[in-house]
Every structure is written in structure tokens, then in C-alpha cells.
Structure 1
Amino acid sequence: MGEVAFSTNVYYHNNEGRGDWVPQYVVDLVDDGEGNGHSELVSGNTVYGGGVLGQITFVDRGGVSLPIGDKTSCASLTFPYGGSRNDDPSTPDVDESSNLTYDPNCFADGAIPVGSYRHTNYKKSRIGINGDFIWDTRIADMDNTLRGGFWYEDYTRDENRSWHKIIDSATSYRFDETPYWVQYDREFPVETTMFYLEDQLDLGFAKAHFGIKQFFVDVSKNDRFNATNDQGVSSDSDLLFSAGFVAPLPVTGLEMFAGFAQNYASIKDAVLERDDSDLSSVKPETADNFDLGLRYSSKDLSASLTYYVTKFEDRINFVSNETVTGIDFLESTAGGYINDGGIESKGFEASLSYQLSDNFSVYGSYTSNDSEYTESEYTEVDIIGNGVIGAAEQMGVVSIDWVRGNHYAGLSTKYVGERWMNQANTAAVEAYTVSDFYLGTTIDDLGSSVESIEINFTINNLFDESYLGTVATNAAWIGAPRTMALNLKAAF
């Protein structure tokens, strides 16, 4: 009958955090009447939810908004301070979609600037259980292994956004702990169940496997200010199939492998954040992955070469007919999430690891990647055939490591090629190369209650390269500068 083994695991995680922005205005929420000071500027007045009347930028000592002066002669702020939205006489006095810096020279002498500290406060908790079994048996004198199991998780994300008045915008970013506005307060429960079954059969000339799995996902939003905004959606997958084989070749240590797998991504709770998203027309994202390759392994050398193709469909994207300059702090842009086209990626990956001696080893890898948009219906320009935002065509890593007894060190260098920053492929981020260094030792036999001490010293971005790291639509984040760290770990 063979041998059967079972296992289960229960887990719970909980974490909290906060994200911050500093808009250069206070949101006008209450109609305080003509000539009266804004109640939003008085500590202790908190508005929960509600609509936006406008923005407060400069006030007099009574807290009354000041009008913009002569716009034809007051502009003085230039890059990198953000420019001024008042530097063009044709620019409207009120433009809630703009987050450009307000020029103090556009207001009367003695004008007091006001601003906000915007907090997005979140709390996440998840509890789950998983279980699996393995059944080893024989079929017609061939070894066979059947695996199966399930995964269940109950996940909840709480999020609220609070706006705090900066106490004195002229001197610092210190803010009033009591918010003048709590913009929203929401809870996003997500319940996920997954079942899988996989069989592996040793045919002698090759090992083959076949598997199926399926996800059942329910996503909801509970609006604590307005229950009419509550909504939910089921985001179940179809049956997802996978198959593959590994076959040894006549050369000792060389084998061929191939695999196919269907994957999917459920509708995320971020889609439910927008009240105007039509959930009935949004479906989960799907992908088909295929790879074919060779790998070799011996005492001192390991190498692999893989060709891959991935077809990604039903990409969920936010679409709006409005254009916003800069950051939409109020998220007032009308729009919703839809399935908009897909992406096809293909290329090859090569890697090699070689033990030069008892103390030195080298490793290298190279990736050639071609990622393109295959279809899109709602973009402003035709992007079919264009390169995907943030996907580098060339990537490589080279590292050398040294070990002698309890001492070790290493140097690694990574190259990332040019990447597109917009779907139209009119703006690109330059390629960059960064190196990291590490050095460490372990001290044993201390002859005390301390069994050992491990000392690690690392330098990331060793040559202090200036580069743009993560790429988003029409934006890129500056990579971290040279960073050094010393870590000590003791075992008792």
C-alpha cells in the first residue's frame, strides 16, 4: 500500500504601520461663512468623512483665507522647490487637482502659510491553517508519490486616513496630534481557501509530474462611515493545471527539464477602495507559464540554461478620463478598475557556479527578457508591442565568495539595463550597476556561557552609485546610497 505522511500548521500574524505625505494646504471641509476664520485650523475640531469644499493655503491672523494677488508678477519659486501654480496668468485661482507649490509672493505681506500632514494608518492581521499529505507507493514497478493538501487564511486589513494641521508651516513639519479630518475608515476582510493535488511518477527514463489546484477567494469592504459603500466580490479561480518532466541525458550530470503551469491573481482589496468600480465586470488576472531548459551539476560546477514564455491576461488597471498633475493627495480623480489587456514575456536565463578552490567560488547569471503589452483598450495611446514599464531587457549578476574556517567575505555586482517609465515608451530610466560587499567571522569555544559570537559587516552600494531603482508609472524612486552595517549575534 505504500507509506502515507500527514502534516498541519496553524499561524497568526499581526502588524501595524503608517504612511505619510505632506500636502502644502489644509483641506476646506466646513462652510464657516464669509469673513470667518476656518474651523479646520482650530485644534480639537475633527470632521469625519464628508466632502471637500476647497483648499486653504495662506491665511491672516484670524484664520481667514487670503486671495491671490497679481499673478503676472509674483512667481518666484522654481525647480527643485516644485514651481508655482500661480506663475501663469491663465492658471485658475482654484485648481484642486494641482499639488504644485503655492508661491508666498502671490499673497499679501504677513500672510501665514498652512499645511497638512496626511497619515494613512493601517493594521493587518491574518490567521490560517494549512495541511498536506504525502503518499509514497508503486505503480507497475514504478515509484509514485501523490501529494495533496489545503490552505485556508482569514485576512483583514484596516485602513483609515487622517489629516493633521502642521502647527507652524513657516518653521517645521511638526503637526497637531488631533486630526482636523478623518477622511475615511474602512475594513477589508479577505477569506482564501486553496486545494491542491500533485502526482509524481518515476518512469525510469524521466520523472513526470501532473498537478491541479483551485482558489476560492471572497473580498469585502466595510465602510465605517457610510454603509452604503459596503461591497464584496467572489474572486475564485478555475481549475489550474501544471505538468512537467525531468529527464537525464547521456552526459553524466546533464539533464533536460520542461514545465507548464497556470497561475492566477485574485481581485485585490485595493479594487474595492474605489466606490465607482464596477465589480461585476472585473475578473481575476491569469497567466500561463512555460519553461524549457538544461542543467548540469558536478563536484565543482553547476550550470543551467532556461528558455521561458509567460502570457499574462486580464490585467487589472485603474482607468480615468481625468488628468492630474502631480500627486492626487485627495484621490478625487473619478475612475475605476477594469481588466485591460495583457503582457507577454519571453527570454532566457543562464547561470553558472564554479568552485575555484577550497576557499574561493564564483557565481554568474544573465537574463535576456522581452516583455511587451499584447493588447489594451483603454489607454490614451496605442501601446501594443511596447515594452512594459519597469521591465529591464538585460540583467546580470557576478559574485565571488571566499571562506576559510570561520571567516568569510564576498563581493557581488548587479547590472540592470534600461527600463521604460511610461507605456508610450517615450521616457526611460538609465541602466545602472551596483556592488555589495560583506565580511564576517564566527568566534567559537569562548569557554563561557556564550557558545559563539557571529560578526557581520556589510556595505551595500559599495561605490555609492547614483541610480533610479523601483520604477512606477511616470515615476522612479532614487536608489539607496552607500550604506554600511555591523551586526553581532551571540548564541548562548
Structure 2
Amino acid sequence: MQKRNSRIALHLAASTAALVWAAPALAQEEDQSDTIVITGQATTYTNTQVSEPMLDQQTPITSPLALIDNLPGVNVQEGDTFGFDDWSTAISVRGFQTNLDTQEIGMTVDGLPNGGSNYGGGSKANRYIDTANIGGIAVSQGTADIGSLSNEALGGTIDFMTDDPTFDRRIRFSGSAGEFDALRFYARYDTGDLGGIRAWVSASHQEATDHVNGSAENERDHFAAKIIADAGAVTLTGYASYDDTHEDNYDQLFTLEDFEQHPDYDGLTAEWTGIPYIDQVYRKGWSTLRENFFSYLMADAEIGSGVTLHAAGYYHHNKGRGDWVPPYIVNVTDDGAGNPESEIIGNGTVNGGAPLGRIYFIDGNGVALTPIDGCVSSITFPYGGAGPEYDPACYAAGAIGAQSYRNTEYKKDRLGVTADFAWAADFGAAMNTLRGGIWYEDAERKELRDWHQIIDTRVGYEFENPAYWVQYSREYPQSTFKWWIEDTVEFGPVTVSGGIKQFHNDVERFDVFGESPTVELNTNSDVLLSGGIQFEPIPELNIFAGYAENYKALGDEILERLDADLADLEPETSENWEAGMRFNNGLIQASATYFNTSFDNRIIFLAANTDAGPDYLIGTNGTYFNAGGIDSEGFELLANAEVVEGLTLYASYTYIDATFNGTGDAQVDAAVGIIPGNKVTGIPENMFVLSADYRDEIFRVGISGKYTDERPVNVANTFITPDFFTADAYIGVTGEAISDSLKAVDLSLVVNNVFDEDYLGGISGGGAWIGAPRTVVFTATVDF
């Protein structure tokens, strides 16, 4: 630990010295976020946006997802403070969730679809945007806008907006260093206004290890550019980003007793032992590697009086893999008893086929060995211990452990277009606005799983290429078409809106090896209704109520289980009601919202990851069910006030009563583990946030605290996480406080989880990940 702290101190000193030395006497420009209003826009549905203090409470290394955690109704949990593990990320909004095995919340980037948030081939917003390039984040907790572009928005949407180029030329450098070997370097160049064209280009590199035993090697490189061109009546906006990430994962805990006994340990190891059963939990063998390229071109135009058009085309390419180190070699070729195993000596790759068995230990010639009769294993870790076939002590001297490096490789390409219009007309007594649009996306996801032999388990986890077995290889072409139309009428202080939308989704499975038939799912939603009313008795007060029917298409993950019976499977749907009020007089912002949601046809799959350890061979077994649904009801309160000049106080409170509904068939409920009336896993009943922030021209400081109520981890509600309270604090200063010649320098220190609270964070698949401990990060930024 002393060595690590010394390294951090060295980087802090070097970064600070370099940036301060380079700073010219230029004033730092205001961020785009200065104008963001927490209570959001006056609409018939709830919407809130992050504020500048919320951005200050997180570091530039932090994932963009963490920035919304203090908004009402929202709970974000990631494996560590920096979000360096997509596997453990869990987001909930009211009674809906996006996590490892559930995707129910829509996510967009500058209003364009992210292509799904699932682990296998999906991408959350942190893959598209650098935190330093965030221009704002808008959360629609419930009914959301009718034109929102997502196939997953059962319970609202989150729109991550990129920062616009500045009007003045600027060069920005930033360096961050912190605990857990955290480092980040960022540079951005803004061209300024070049006769109606503005642009920026940025690059960043960041890295960190894990907070458990410091064995992870996490790295992320991100490059992005944005351009805005004003050409009279048409404005063009282009954006492109490339993200390359390597993350070593955290593991879940499956009992409260494990957490209480070891609140800082997730069960993954830092050292390679040479015993395959133990080394299956070697952290560097649990990895997520992803590359994402995302780009779009938008056009906004005004034609004639009151008519505006918006169109966009986008492209997304994703590729990567998820790694595991199963404690055996899969026997896929019958070599006969006593002969060297083909999987060991390397006789080529077997494509497809069923496993014949498992190879645990071999002799020096590659011949499979069997354990000594009557031997009892002494291995007790992990997963409660192992049988004699896994224990080297149950074999004759010279036995060599056999182990695999298993990759699941993902590729996905999406090409889409969207177009919409708005026509506003004044009819004297009323102002009428007609809006409508279409969205089409063509995508193809490819997935294969291959198994490589670890060359020498006595030495490390380096593996052979090519693979000895490609378990499967499949392609999933899919398309989405959505149309929508809405009419809004304003009668003085009253605004009424109503609209309809519909989705058409096609998804197909093609087996490259021809081992399973081609399957196609064509699903159309009903014509979905939405609408609402607003009333503004005074300019500062907005009273609203809204209703929306939402829908989630059957995704390609449904087709991954070859034996699943899809004949009676229906898409998930939800009905969202909400009503509330907003108040904003400039100094005080406040809102109160009541919501009631019915989520039907909920699709579940029995989890492959249990307290007995992962099922590494899963991929063809199991099935999906429409297992009833969820009822969610509650309210959200928010208040934000500037009590004296520069001092802002913020508070939010959320109450959620989310319970499971049964299928109506007790046997089906029992088969899928649903107990009607039980609390929904991962959803806290109560959350509240308190925050105090002070800012003047050269100095800023703040602290916020969030209480999260206990949450069920499993559907039986027998594993409940304890409630917890975490706090974040920051202090920042511009160089002007030191010297007038340093106006362009900004220094900040952020401390997350100030009181080093032990808690359980993300929840998925019947398990929970431990929360991140106290984390300190220092950042120095300089503008030229």
C-alpha cells in the first residue's frame, strides 16, 4: 500500500506542476452545464436533469452513469467508483431496472438509440461519451416523450447529451490521479466559431485497479469529435466516438452472511495458484473487452412559418468479448481410453457438437487422469469446495491441471435513420402543435463462444490459439420500425396533448454451424396511447398529469436458448400514470410527483450464475417465461434553492412500493420462483438525498449524502441487503485564488463515500456486488 500511495503522490505532483506551469493568463470559460435546470422542462410527464453541483460531486474518471444518482426515483450502482465494470452495473428508475439480466429503461445519446443495454452486445452510454464531454443528462422517470427512440423503455428514458463546441477557441488539458492506481489524462481542442462552423476533438486515457485486492488491470481509451455547422435555415450536427475498454470484473455475493463476514471481499483472487478449481476465480480471467464506434449526422431545419424538421442518420459498430477460466477442459473428441487428448495436444478446432465429458488432470503426455479411488478432497474454496476430480492431492505425483480460457465474442452493427416534424399554428384562441416521426434501424449481432486450452496451469493463464472448441456461432439479424404522432393544444394556461405510437420488430437466429433451425420472431405492438394535461395558474407553477403505454420488443437474447418454447411468449408492456407539480421562480425549484405503473408479461429466465458457481457450459439449456408482472406505486419530491448568493441546498425523496404479480397459475409461479406480493428485487422502498453546495468565481465546495433503503436480492425475499448511507464531498479552486496569472487553471479534489461505508451495491441474478469504498481523486485542468 505504501508503494501505491507513493505512486499516486508522484503523479499528483507531476500533473499539478505541469499544468500550472503551462497555464497562460486566460479566463476559464463557463461550462455548458451552468444553464441546466434540475426540474426539467414543463411537460405532461416527469423529467429532471443533472445540475452543475451533481457534476462536481463526481470525478472525470467516473462513468457518466453515476452522474444521475442523486435525481429522484433513480438509483445507480457500479462495481467501483469509476464504473470500471459493466458486468456489475445496475440502474433502477422507479420500479424498472437495467442490469446484468434485465433491460427495462430506455437509453439514448443526443436523442439517438444506444442499441440496447445488455452485457452481451449492448452498450450503455458510458461507451459512447467521455464524462468531460457531457453537456447534460435528462431523465424521464415515467411516461417519457412519445418520440423517444428505444426498444427498452418500459419505464422512462435517460438521454445523455454531448457538449456543444464553444464559440471561442480553446485548448484544454486535464489530469487526474487517485486511489486504486487511478490515472486519467484528457485533452480537447475547440476551434471556436469559424464563420458558422464550430467543432471540437478530444482524447482521453484512464486506468485503475480494483478496490478488493488490487489485481485488476482496467484501461479505457476514448476519442471523440463533434461539429456544428449553421447554414442559414439548416443546422448540421455531427458526432463520432471510439471507445476501447478492458475491464476485469467483480463477483457477486449470494448470502448476507458472506457480506457480514467479509464486507470488503468479493471472492475473486489476486494470485495464480496452479490449482484450476481455485484459479477459476482469478480476477484477471474474469474480463470484459469492448470496442465501440458510434457516429451520427443530424439536420435541423425550419421551412415556412411554424414548421420544423429534424432528421438523423447513425451508425454503430460494437465488438468485444467476455472471459472466464473454467476449471477443466471440455472433452469434445473421442480419442479412446489411454490416448492423448486432442484438446490438449492440439489437433485443430472442433466446431459445434455436444460435450462428451470433462478433463480435469492430465499426465505429461496429455492423457486424461482419474482421481485415486476413495480420495476425499481437501479443497474448501471457492463455492463451498470441490470433489476429488478437482483436487491435485487426489492424483499421483506429476499430474498437471487442465483448464480452459473461455471467450464469448460479440459483434454488432447498427445502421439507422430517424425523421420527425413539428408544425405550430396559432388559431387565435388556441395554439396547436402537431408532431410526428418515424424511426428505422437495421442491425445484426454475431455471437460465438470458443474454448482455449491454458498452456500450463502451473505457470499462469496464458492460452493457446486457435481454440480447441467453438461451442456455437450464431447471427441475429434484426430490424425496428416505429412511427408516432402527437397533437398538443394550448388554451391560455391549459395545455392538452395526445398521441399514438407503434413498433414493428423482426429478429432472426441463424446458426452458422447448422445445429439449430433458423428461427424468426415478428412482433408488432398494439397502437400505444399517450397523453396528458398541463395547467399553469401562474408563470412559476406547472401542474401536470400524464399517461403512456410502453412496450419492449422481444430481443435476440430470447433466441439464445435453443430449447426455449417461444410459442406463447409475449412482449413486455407497461402502463404508466403520473401526476404532479413543478415550481420554479429562479431561486427556488421544487417538484412533487405521484406515479402508478403496471408492468405486464414480464419475461424472466432462471439465472445461470448461482451460489454454487457459474455454469460455464450454459448456452443451450433453459427457457423464458412471461411470469406475471410488477406493480409499482410511489411519489417523488424535489427541492433546490439558492438560500444566499452562491449557496445552494438540494433535497430529494423517493418512495417506491414495487411488488411482483403472479401468473395466475401457482405451479408456474413456483417453477420460476415468483411469490405474488413479494418486493421486487433491487428496488429500495425509500431513498433521500441531501446536498449543500457553495460556489463563487474562484472557489467551490460541497457535500451530498444519499440514503438507500434495504433491497431484496432474490425473488423469495430471503436475502435482503442492509440499508446504507453514503456521502460525497468535493472542493475546487481556480488558479486565480493563487495568482492572477493562473486564471486558466482549475484544481479539484473529490472524495466519494466519505465515511467509507460498507454496503452492497448492484443486484442481479439473485446476487449482489459489494459497494465501492472511500475513493479520493485529484484533478488539475488548464485551458489555453
Cross-structure match for 2:339: 36
Aligned with residue 220 of structure 1, among 508, 520, 530: 508
- Residue pairs, 1:441-452, within 5 angstroms: 441=733, 452=744
Alignment of 1:264-413 (within 5 A): 264-318=551-605, 325-331=612-618, 334-376=621-663, 377=665, 378-380=668-670, 381=673, 383-413=675-705
Q: CA deviation at 1:279?
A: 2.8
Asked whether the 8 Å contact 1:319–1:338 carries over to 2, the reply is no
- Structure 2 counterpart of 1:179: 467
SS of the residue corresponding to residue 50 of structure 1 reads coil
Distance 1:439 1:44, change over 3 A: farther
Map of 2:768 onto structure 1:
476
- CA 1:299/1:345 → structure 2, altered by over 3 Å: closer, same or farther? same
Q: Distance in 1 between matches of 2:779 and 2:446?
A: 34
Q: Shift of the alpha carbon at 1:350?
A: 0.9
Q: What is the root-mean-square deviation in Å for CA atoms of aligned residues? A: 2.7
Fraction of identical pairs, as percent: 41
Name the stretch that deviates more: 174-183 or 208-217: 174-183
**1:90 match:** none
* CA–CA separation in structure 2 for the residues paired with 1:201 and 1:148: 15
TM-score by length of 2: 0.57
CA distance in 1, matches of 2:655, 2:339: 64
Partner of residue 485, structure 2: 197
Q: Which runs of 5+ in 2 are unaligned?
A: 1-303
Tell me the equivalent position of 2:431: 143
8 Å Cα contact 1:74-1:105 kept in structure 2: no
2:752 maps to 460
Instruction: Please state how far the C-alpha of 1:428 moved relative to its aligned partner.
Output: 1.2
Q: How does 1:36-115 map to 2 (within 5 A)?
A: 36-43=339-346, 45-71=348-374, 74-79=376-381, 81-86=382-387, 102-115=390-403
DSSP-derived class of the 2:669 partner: coil
- How much does 1:169 deviate? 1.7
For the residue of structure 1 that corresponds to 2:613, the secondary structure is: coil
The aligned counterpart of 2:499 is 211
CA distance in 2, matches of 1:413, 1:306: 22
- Whether the 8 Å CA contact 2:682–2:713 is kept in 1: the answer is yes
Per the TM alignment, residue 457 of structure 1 is displaced from its structure 2 partner at its CA by 4.1
Distance 1:223 1:482, change over 3 A: farther
The answer to whether the aligner puts 1:169 opposite 2:461 as a matched pair is no
* The structure with more radius of gyration: 1
SS at match of 2:411: strand
Deviates more, 1:479-488 or 1:118-127: 479-488
Q: Which residue, out of 439, 446, 463, partners 1:158?
A: 446
Cα deviation for residue 262 of structure 1 reads 0.4
**Larger strand percent:** 1
CA distance change for structure 1 residues 463 and 42 in 2, over 3 Å: closer, same or farther? farther
Q: CA 1:437–1:178 in 2, change beyond 3 Å: closer, same or farther?
A: farther
C-alpha separation in 1, matches of 2:639 and 2:743: 36
After superposition, residues 229-268 of structure 1 pair within 5 angstroms as 229-249=517-537, 253-268=540-555
Bigger RCO (CA 8 Å, 6+ sep):
2
**1: distance between equivalents of 2:314 and 2:735?**
35
CA distance in 2 between counterparts of 1:447 and 1:127 reads: 50
Residues 177 and 373 from structure 1, CA distance in 2 versus in 1: closer, same or farther, beyond 3 angstroms?
same
| 8 Å contact from structure 1 (residues 389, 473) kept in 2 | no
Alpha-carbon separation, structure 1, partners of 2:781 and 2:486 = 41
Deviation at 1:159, TM superposition (A): 1.4
Q: How does 1:423-438 map to 2 (within 5 A)?
A: 423-438=715-730
Q: Deviations over 1:205-261 (max 9, x none)?
A: 4111111111111111222111643211112211111111111247x7333211100
Counterpart Cα distance in 2 of 1:436 and 1:167: 46
> Secondary structure of 1:229's partner?
coil
Instruction: For residue 113 of structure 1, report the CA deviation from its aligned partner.
Output: 0.9
Question: How far off is 1:69 after superposition?
Answer: 2.3
Q: Equivalent residue of 1:462, what SS?
A: coil
Q: Contact (CA 8 Å) 1:213, 1:241: kept in 2 or not?
A: yes
Q: Following TM superposition, by how much is the alpha carbon of 1:317 offset from its aligned partner in structure 2, in angstroms?
A: 1.7
- Segments of 5+ residues of structure 1 without an aligned counterpart are 88-92, 94-101
Higher helix share: 2
Shift of 1:407: 3.8
For 1:293, the aligned partner's letter is G
- The CA distance in 1 between the partners of 2:747 and 2:312, in whole Å, is 34
In structure 2, distance between residues paired with 1:334 and 1:480: 34
CA deviations over 1:174-209 (Å, ceiling 9, x no partner): 222321111111221221111111111112241111
Of 299, 320, 323, the residue aligned with 1:20 is 323
Which whole-Å CA distance do the structure 2 matches of 1:473 and 1:204 have between them? Answer: 51
Give the aligned length: 473
Is the deviation greater in 478-487 or in 103-112?
A: 478-487
Counterpart AA for 2:383:
G
